[in-house]
A and B are shown apart, each in its own frame.
Chain A
Amino acid sequence: MAEVDPQLLDKIRAAAQAARHAADSVQAYAEQIAAGASAASGGAIDPFIFRLAIFALAVIVGYYVVWAVTPSLHTPLMSVTNAISSVIVVGALLSAGIDPSSGTGSGAARVFGFLALTLASVNIFGGFLVTERMLSMFKKKG
C-alpha cells in the first residue's frame, strides 16, 4: 500500500471539504432559525401564549363547573353569566380616561366608551339583582 493514487487522494480531500461546507451551512441555518424565533418572541415567550393558556384552561374549568350546575338553576346560570360578562366594563372604564385633547379620534372613542359603560352598567346591576331575586325564591320544603 506504498503507492496511493494521487487522484483518489484529491477526491477524498474534496469530499471532506464538501462535508465541512455542509456542516457549516447547517449550523448557519440553525443559527438563523434560532435567531428568527427569538426575534419573533422578543427573546422570550410571547405574552399572547400565556393569555391563550389562561383562556384554554378557563374553558376547561368552565366545562366542568357548568356541567355540575343543577338543571333547576339553568335560568339563574344564564343571568349570572350575563352579569359577569359585563366585566367588559373594564374596557369601557379605560376609554373614559382618554385625554380628549390627545388626538382626533379621542372624542369618538370617549363617546363609544360612555355608551359601553352605560350598557355594561345595566347588565351589572340588572344581572346580579335579577339572579339574586330568582335564587331567593328557591326554597326547600318547609
Chain B
Amino acid sequence: MLSGNIAGLLYLVSGILFILALRGLSSPETARQGNRFGVIGMGIAAATTFLYQLPWGFSSFLWVLLAIAIGGSIGVWRARTIQMTAMPQLVALFHALIGLAAVLVPASALYAPQGFGLGVPGGIHGTTLFEMSLGAAIGAMTFTGSVIAFLKLDGRMTGNPILLPKRHAINIGLGILLAIFILAFIPTETHQLFWLIVLVSFALGVLLIIPIGGADMPVVISMLNSYSGWAAAAVGFTLANLALIITGALVGSSGAILSYIMCRGMNRSFIAVILGGFGGETAVPAGLPESEPRPVKQGSAEDAAKMLLAAKKVIIVPGYGMAVAQAQHAVAEMANILKSKGVDVKYAIHPVAGRMPGHMNVLLAEANVPYDEVFELTDINPEFPDADVAFVIGANDVTNPAAKTDSSSPIYGMPILDVEHAKNVLFVKRGLGPGYAGVDNELFFRPNTTMLFGDAKKMVDSIVKAMG
C-alpha cells in the first residue's frame, strides 16, 4: 500500500520522535511529554510497517494480534505491579527481551529473506549476512548477560563475583571462535553456523557478567543497555530501517554514557569493571589481619529524634540499604515531620547509590519527596559544613573519607559525599560490617558520629514515633 519512500520518511519521523523522547528527560517538567513523543514514534513505526505489508492475510493478521495481545498484557501487568525498589531487575529483564528479539529477527530473515526484501534463501548479500550475524551475536550476549544480571539483582544468584580459572583465556578463545564463525558464515549462509554464532555469544554473555559483583551492577546494567542498542542498530542495518538504525544509535550511546558516568562515580576504569572480580556484597578480602574492635558511639532512636529535632539543617544520604529495607516512605515521613518543625531538609545522592543509575531518585519520588529537595553530589557537597546532622541510611562506601586520604584503600580516588564535614553524623546500619569494597569506614569511629544499629525501616519508624 505505502510506497517504500513514504515508509522510509515515516520511519525517519519516528526516529526523530525518539530523539525528542530522550530530549524531554533533560528536566522532570518536560519528561512526560517526551515519553508521549516516544509512544507516538512507536505507533508511527508499527503502523507504517503494518500498512506497508497490506494486504494482510487473515491468518497472518490473527497471528500478529495474538503476539501483541500476549506480549502487551505481560508488559502492562509488569509495569503496573513492579515495585520501584525492583526497577533494576525489571530493566535487566527488558534488556534481555530486546537481546533475544535481536537474535530472532535476523534468524527469521535468514530463513525467509524474501519476506524482508533481502533476496532468496542462499542468495542473501554478504553485507547483509554480516549485519545479521553481528546483530544476533550482540543480541545473544545481551540476552544471557541480562538474565545473569537479573538473577544477581533479584537475589536468586549470589551477588559475589564468580571467578572461573583462566576466565580471560576462555573469553578470548570464545571471541576468536565467534570471529571465525562469522567469517565462515558470510560466504556460506549456513544456518548451522548462524546458530553456532548465537550459542558462542550466549556463552560469552554469561561469562562476561558472572565475575562482576553485585555492587558493580550500575555499570553492568548501563553496559547491557548500550549492547541492546548496538544490537538493534545492527538489525536496523540488516532491514535498512531508519527508525531502527537511529534508535539503536541513540540507545547505544545512551548506555555507553551511563556506563561512563557510573565508572567515574566509582573512580574505576570501564575495563577494570568488565574484568570483574570486585564488588561482592560482603566481599571481605580473606587473609587480611583482623582489625581490633574499636569503640563506636551507639545511639537509640530517641537520641536520634532529639538530635534531628534540634537541628536547623539536615541532609539525608540514602543508599542501597534503604531500597533493600523499603524504608523510603518512612524516611519521607520523618523528613516531613522535620520540615513541619521548620528544619531545612535536603537529600544527597551519590551517582552510584543503589543498583542502577538514578535508582535512589525514583525511590524518593515514589515516597513523594519533591525532586527539588534532592541534590547530586557536586551540588550538595559544599553544604555539608552548614548541616547540623547528616543522616546516612543504607549507604557506606560513598561516605568513606578513606577515599580521599588513604591511597592504599580500594576505593581511593572515588568521589564521596562529604558527610564528615557535618556537625553530627547519624549512621543507620545493620551491623558494623565493612561496605562492599571490604574496607572499614573511618567515619564510624569519629567522635561526632552516632551509630544507629538495626533494620533501616524499623529504625526510622522508631525515630518517627519518638518525634511524637
A contact set with B: CB distance below 8 Å: 47-48, 51, 54-56, 58-59, 61-63, 65-100, 102-106, 108-110, 112-142
Contact = CB atoms under 8 A, between A and B. Distances in A.
B232 A85 contact: yes
Given A80-B22, A94-B49, A126-B75, 5 more contacts: A74-B356, A95-B108, A106-B112, A109-B115, A117-B71
Nearest to B365: A137
Contacts of B64: 93, 96, 117
A92 B114 contact: no
Contacts of B68: 117-118, 121
A125 B228 contact: no
Contact of A118 (B71, B238, B239): B71
A125 B79 contact: yes
B272 interface: no
B258 A62 contact: no
A75 B229 contact: no
B219 interface: no
A126 B229 contact: no
Contacts of A131: 35, 38
Interface string B339-355: 00000000001010000
A85 B104 contact: no
B: contact size bracket: 35 or more
Interface in B95-131: 95, 97-98, 100-102, 104-105, 107-112, 114-116, 121, 127
Contact of B349 (A67, A72, A78, A122): A72
Nearest to A58: B249
Of B35, B228, B233, B261, chain A has the most CB atoms within 10 Å of the CB of: B35
Contacts of A47: 240
B362 A137 contact: yes
Contacts of B80: 129, 133
A124 to B, nearest CB: 6
A112 B107 contact: yes
Given A81-B225, A119-B100, A130-B90, A87 B60 contact: no
A111 to B, nearest CB: 8
Nearest to A105: B111
23 contacts: A51-B236, A51-B240, A55-B245, A71-B376, A74-B261, A80-B25, A82-B251, A84-B41, A89-B49, A90-B48, A90-B239, A91-B241, A100-B59, A102-B112, A103-B114, A109-B109, A109-B112, A112-B108, A121-B71, A126-B90, A128-B42, A130-B79, A130-B82
Contact of A97 (B60, B75, B374): B60
Contacts of A90: 11, 45-46, 48-49, 239, 241, 243-244
A79 to B, nearest CB: 6
Main secondary structure of the interface of A (DSSP, over half): helix
A118 to B, nearest CB: 4
A84 B18 contact: yes
B201 interface: no
B243 A126 contact: no
B28 A119 contact: no
A115 B22 contact: no
B115 A141 contact: no
A112 B252 CA distance: 24
B118 to A, nearest CB: 10
A93 B48 CA distance: 10
Of B80, B95, B371, chain A has the most CB atoms within 10 Å of the CB of: B371
A65 B19 contact: yes
Nearest to B100: A119
Of B73, B84, B98, B357, chain A has the most CB atoms within 10 Å of the CB of: B98
A92 to B, nearest CB: 6
B76 A126 contact: yes
B448 interface: no
B253 A66 contact: yes
A105 B75 contact: no
B21 to A, nearest CB: 6
